[in-house]
Amino acid sequence: MKVIRVKNADSFARPKEPSYNKKLVESIIDQVRKSGDTALRKFEAKFNGVSIKTLQVSKKEIHDAYQSVTREQMTAISMAKDNLARTELALKKQLKEIRIDSNGIKIVKSFSALDCVGCYVPGGLARYPSSAVMSVVPAKVAGVQKIIVVTPPNKQGGVDPTVLVAADMCGADLIFKVGGAHAIAALAYGTKSIPPVDKIVGPGGPFVTAAKYLVSSVTSIDMLAGPTELAIIADDSADPEFVALDLISQSEHSADTTCCLITTSKKLADSVNEIITKSTSIQRKEIVLSSLNKNGFVALCDKMSDAINVANKLAPEHLEIITRQPQKLAKQIKSAGLILLGKNTPSAASDYLLGTNHVLPTNRFGKSRGSLSVLDFMKIQTTVESSRNALERIDKKLETLTTSESLPNHYLAVRKRL
């Protein structure tokens, strides 16, 4: 990884413009909107070389999936589900009804679950049962009535058994064998097989992200999650092997990931680079080295306050803090998708079993939101009730404001009641 001496933290904070064929994605969405299931089957054949007769996963396919997974896999999925559900339930319990009663005006704010959501689970050549857990569990805990999972089929026209088991165990109501931008379009507009949803969540590749953006005027989405990001703030107390392994672990996602070390120790920077360069045992080595060589870097800072500033400007998806006092430094971090404290909290563990969600904001969106949670599957419902006395009390001020905005009928609608 290249070593950069930090002189201006802002230079590290330039967001990447997404790269995709906008016209192609718009065309895919338009064809699904017009032709529904026919378009979905056509695109699965075109992009994935798969002939799909029945889009919905059957009960028999789910039953067979349970027979195909090992006991160890089921236990691991169950642990991931339970750990995340425990966290999400604790958050939901904080969402209590709020009542404000002042000067004859009664306002009630309550939290209600969405009716129907779509969870995109990446798949096809890969398998991500963990992504099914991360999307479906918070929706189930929130109380969503209908949870729909869409995931790309494999070359045999089926879905990986671990993904099916994870989705079913976590509470998915319907599962469909369709992926890519056309799956997002189906969730947004609905087809004969797939009902339209109130919100689409879950990670995906550039075409999925682009489709989510383009349908966001029709249905709500969680976030535009791009390639994985990891930043590690570390001082000279950090074990360079731990740091190197964590950078390698996240860079194996794809060649587009961005992984970096932010440190005040040149010795640590050199050691980490040496471990990565000289290692002969890196698995998925081509992807890892491509990612680290193309996008990885070491930000070498004069003092820890500069390192914190760089991290806040980057607003990375994952931020590990491996220093002598990680809790103290964490209080100064305002912009990260997930903060992981200490040498025993690697991001790789949080991707699966620590009880945190791995669907996280990227490309600086950590400045404005956190991980996927029950909050993404609930809305604030507000009711207000006003008395006649309250209207009398605001009469003159209302006249002033409506007159200043040249909206006289607003005032007349209130004045008539008085």
Tens-binned pLDDT, residue by residue, of the chain (418 aa): 998 888 877 666 566 666 678 899 999 999 999 999 999 999 999 998 899 989 999 999 999 999 999 999 999 999 999 999 999 999 999 999 999 999 999 999 999 999 999 999 998 667 899 999 999 999 999 999 999 999 999 988 999 999 999 999 999 999 999 999 999 999 999 999 999 999 999 999 889 999 999 999 999 999 998 889 999 999 999 999 999 999 999 999 988 899 999 999 999 999 999 999 988 889 999 999 999 999 999 999 999 999 999 999 999 999 999 999 999 999 999 999 999 999 999 999 999 999 999 999 999 999 999 999 999 999 999 999 999 999 999 999 999 999 999 999 999 999 999 9
Residues 169 and 315 in one domain: no
Residues 289 and 322 in one domain: yes
Q: In this structure, what are the phi and psi dihedrals at residue 396, rounded to the nearest 5 degrees?
A: -65, -40
Residues 237 and 204 in one domain: no
Task: State the catalytic residue, choosing from 317, 399, 405, 410.
Answer: 317
Q: Report the distance separating Cα 32 and Cα 64, nearest Å.
A: 30
Residue 13 included in any domain: no
Residues 30 and 141 in one domain: yes
Residue 9 included in any domain: no
Residues 168 and 232 in one domain: no
Residue 304 included in any domain: yes
- Any idea which residue has 């006249």 for tokens? 399
Residues 81 and 177 in one domain: yes
Query: Is residue 32 a contact partner of residue 182, using CB atoms and an 8 Å limit?
Result: yes
Region class of 226: left (phi > 0), else alpha (psi between -120 and 50), else beta: beta
Task: State the catalytic residue, choosing from 318, 358, 399, 405.
Answer: 318
pLDDT attached to residue 254:
87
Residues 182 and 246 in one domain: no
pLDDT attached to residue 13:
57
Domain that holds residue 74: 22-94+113-221
Residue 402 included in any domain: yes
Residues 217 and 235 in one domain: no
Indicate the SS3 state at residue 194: coil
Residues in the chain: 418
Boundary of a domain, candidates 221, 249, 279: 221
182 is annotated as an active-site residue: no
End-to-end CA separation in angstroms for the chain: 73
Please give the model's pTM, rounded to 2 decimal places.
0.93
86-117 b/e (C-beta count within 10 Å ≥ 16 → b): ebbeeebeebeeeeeeeeebeeeeebebbebb
Residue 345 included in any domain: yes
- CATH value at residue 346: 3.40.50.1980
Residue 103 included in any domain: no
DSSP H stretches of helix in 154-230: 161-170, 180-189, 206-215
